[in-house]
Amino acid sequence: MRKKNKNIKININQRSFIFEDYFETSRKNKNEKYLSISQDRIYLLFFLFFSLILIFSIKITLVSLKEPFGIKEFNYKDQNLILRRDITDRNGTLVSRNINSFHAAINPSLIKNKQKFLINLRLNFPNLPFKKIEKKLSQGKYFYLIKRLRQDEKEKLWSLGEKGIIFEPFQSRVYPHANLFSHILGQVDYDNYGISGVEKYFDKELKDKKKLNQPLKLSLETNIQHIIDEELNKALITFKATGGAALLMDVSNGEILSMVSLPNFDINKRQNISDTKYINKITKGVYELGSVFKTFTIALALDKKLVTPETIIKNIPEQLKCSKYKITDIKKNPKELSVEDILIRSSNIGTVLLAQKIGEKDYKNFLNQSNLLKKSKLELEEVGIPLNFKWEKCKLETISFGHGITVTPLQATAVYAALSNGGNIVIPTIIKKNENFEGKNLISTKTSKEINKILRKVVTEEEGTASLADIYGYSVGGKTGTSEGYGRKSENLNTFISIFPSQNPKYALLVMLENPKVATNLIYNYKGMQIRGTRNEAGWNSVYTAGKIIKKIGPILAINNEEFLEHVAKKSN
């Protein structure tokens, strides 16, 4: 009380005084105190309820963000299955995808009436080994009934309504186009690890969990691949060839739009293939490609400014003797030929004379620069290595027209792409790349233009060897090659490497046929005449096939077709 009195301030100017009602003051103070406590309690209450609401809000946010327990978690995470990314072609068409599949396993301890189960099983699956199943059932151990179930088999097993049947999920790789990309895609093993082709080369990238939703985009085009595959299959029948291959490459960046090797196989069916005829002939097979090499010799001679396309080579002998080899031409040629005529007529002797002018050193440099002597850097496991050889006497001469040197068709096509695109070396690829590729110069732009003109003449000139590929509107140019199998003289290999449209080449197409025969029943439309097949050189089979292919794929590739401009565009305007 004293303390309180001390706090009372006395106003000395005050004329009157009052008696303070201590009881009332005390009551007021008490009330204020209670009010304060009540307020605190209300705040606390509000805080509590606010916290509760906050908890619910957080919960609902978490629920909406969390991936629920469902199919994905069950299959992918709990089962620790290896997932693989999709593989698509350049337009996004699926060429390889993982799907959920099932094995049917049996847990005997969950089967109440084993006899009834066996009867039901026998009725639905009469071909199963029932003695073994009966034995395993009696042993009471968990075992697999059917591995890799088909959908109809799974439904039949479901309909049995047996608890003891366990459906074990696993990831299965499916290739919707079956045979079409068999040499490129390769296969995966039972554990989903790539064992060949793209599946093996990109195994790590395809299993990258961070990129699971992004497909691996190849540079291939499904429709073009089918057309080429179809035409090549027809050619194999028409010319009774034992095998064939074709490759379509974008000459500006080396992207491969189609790669076909026949015979092929269904990659959805698991089988051991040991026969070498099933190899990827484009990337793995190494061959003596013959006269297609003459283009390289002519290009080098032009690039070194030793000759021009019009330079006349005089006194060309009918036969050349080099060490133990006799070099002749298949048909008799004039004694004087221009450089371009040497390529148009495919003269071996003319090419040898040019190679001798070039010299061994420069020719070696050219082969090294053009990557013809080493393994190609393609994104596939199955890439062949050219056979080693020594630069002994006459090697330059034989190499100049494509003998005594082996390369893969892929390498030869890549060099044709480089020669025709303005001289830039391209690195072949099967992956779709958006950036433009700028490689080193193999030859000058001027030489490239000259070579394109000469290659066009091989198709258009009367003496040319590739008239059957002169498809109106596509300005096809190219060079044929007819050769014997390397070390196997009974076998022959007919090749045609074309570029189109030759005034500004966009694509290089290689067509190769193994051991083709004369197609006596085939009627060729040869320079406006209808003639029957009597000959067996590349000009009569590989060139014919290439022409058929270009006619079909040309519109898809949207090349500015002269015929279209002349007959459709002008009229529609």
- 190 sits near another protein (criterion: CB under 8 A): no
Contacts with another protein in 216-275 (CB under 8 A)?
222-223, 226-227, 230
Residue nearer to another protein on the CB measure, 526 or 564: 564
Considering the complex, state which of residue 92 and residue 487 has its C-beta at the smaller distance from another protein.
92
Nearest approach, Cβ of residue 146 and another protein (Å): 21
Q: Which is nearer to another protein, 94 or 387 (CB)?
A: 94
* CA 68-74-76 angle, 5° bins: 105
Nearer to another protein, 180 or 417 (CB): 180
Is 31 a binding residue for another protein by CB under 8 A? The answer is: yes
Is 1 a binder of another protein (CB under 8 A)?
no
Q: 468 and 539 in contact (C-beta within 8 Å)?
A: yes
- 27 makes contact with another protein (CB under 8 A): no
Per-residue interface string for the shown chain with another protein, residues 68-107, x marking contact by CB under 8 A:
x-xxx--------------------xx--x-x--------
Task: With contacts defined by CB under 8 A, name the span among 102-110, 178-186, 314-322, 335-343 that binds another protein.
Answer: 178-186
Q: How far is the CB of 206 from another protein (least distance, A)?
A: 17
CA distance 459 to 539: 10
C-alpha span between 567 and 557 (Å, rounded): 19
Q: How far is the CB of 519 from another protein (least distance, A)?
A: 17
Nearer Cβ to another protein, position 52 or 385? 52
Buried b (16+ CB within 10 A) or exposed e, 443-465: beeebbbbbbebbbbbbbbeebb
Q: Is residue 33 close enough to count as binding another protein by CB under 8 A?
A: no
* Distance (Å, whole) CA 306 – CA 355: 10
C-alpha pair distances (Å), 258 with each of 45, 222, 428, 437: 74, 8, 12, 19
Question: Least Å distance between CB 47 and another protein?
Answer: 11
CA pseudo-torsion sign 518, 520, 521, 524:
positive
In terms of Cβ atoms closer than 10 Å to its own Cβ (0-12, 13-18, 19+), residue 13 is: exposed
Single-letter amino acid code for the residue at 487: G
Which of 22, 49, 158, 167 is in the footprint of another protein by CB under 8 A? 49
The smaller minimum CB distance to another protein, of residues 212 and 394, is found at 212
Choose, by CB under 8 A, the member of 59, 112, 163, 335 that binds another protein: 59
Residue linked to tokens 């008799």? 332
Binding part of the chain for another protein, among 199-207, 512-520, 529-537, 564-572 by CB under 8 A, reads 564-572
Residue 179 interacts with another protein (CB under 8 A): yes or no = yes
Among 272, 274, 530, 572, binds another protein (CB under 8 A): 572
Look up tokens 């209670």; give the residue: 34
Binding mask of the shown chain, residues 461 to 490, with x at each position contacting another protein by CB under 8 A: -----------xx-----------------
Please select the residue that binds another protein; options are 7, 16, 64, 530, rule is CB under 8 A. 64
Q: Which two tokens stand for residue 280?
A: 């990827």
Which residue, among 228, 169, 205, has the nearest Cα to 87 in the 3D structure? Answer: 205
Element spanning 490, H or E: strand 488-500
DSSP string, 241-279: -SEEEEEEEETTT-BEEEEEEES---TTS------GGGS
Handedness of CA 146, 174, 410, 552 (dihedral sign): positive
Q: Is residue 122 at the binding interface for another protein, with CB under 8 A as the rule?
A: no
Phi, psi angles (nearest 5°) of residue 48 = -60, -50
Contact by Cβ (8 Å): 332, 463: no
- 312 lies in the site for another protein, by CB under 8 A: no
Side chain identity at 395, as an amino acid letter?
K
Q: CA torsion, points 551, 547, 340, 445, in degrees to nearest 10?
A: 40
Does residue 492 interact with another protein by CB under 8 A? no
Q: Per CB under 8 A, which region of 64-72, 287-295, 393-401, 491-499 contacts another protein? A: 64-72
Nearer to another protein, 223 or 504 (CB): 223
For residue 252, CA distances in Å to 223, 415, 422 come to 21, 12, 9
If one asks whether residue 44 binds another protein (CB under 8 A), the answer comes out as: no
Q: Which residue has the tokens 């221009």?
A: 338
Nearer to another protein, 236 or 289 (CB): 236
Q: Which two tokens stand for residue 141?
A: 């151990």
Distances (CA, A) of 475 to 126, 508, 571: 62, 12, 22
What whole-number distance in Å separates Cα of residue 392 and Cα of residue 443? Answer: 26
* Region near another protein per CB under 8 A, out of 41-49, 123-131, 250-258, 515-523: 41-49
- Candidate ranges 39-47, 401-409, 434-442, 505-513; the one touching another protein (CB under 8 A): 39-47
The residues binding another protein (CB under 8 A) are 31, 34-35, 38, 41-42, 45-46, 49, 52-53, 56, 59-60, 63-64, 67-68, 70-72, 93-94, 97, 99, 174, 176-180, 222-223, 226-227, 230, 472-473, 551-552, 555, 561, 563-564, 566-568, 571-572
